[in-house]
Amino acid sequence: MTEAQSGSEEVDGVLAALADPTRRHLLDLLAARGEVTATKLAEELPVSRQAVVKHLAVLDAAGLVTGSRVGREVRYAVRPAALNATARWMAALAADWDRRLAHVKHVAETAERAARE
Q: What is the pLDDT of residues 9-64, one digit of tens each?
A: 788 999 999 999 999 999 999 999 999 999 999 999 999 999 999 999 999 999 99
Whether residue 99 contacts residue 93, with contact meaning beta carbons closer than 8 Å, is answered with: no
pLDDT at 1: 40
b/e map of 67-82 (b: 16 or more CB within 10 Å)? beeeeeebbbebbeeb
Give whole-number Cα distances, 67 to 33, 78, 105, 114, in Å: 14, 9, 49, 63
Q: Look up the pTM and report it.
A: 0.73
Domains along the sequence of the chain with CATH: 3-116 (1.10.10.10)
Using alpha carbons, select from 83, 8, 70, 63 the residue that is nearest to residue 39: 70
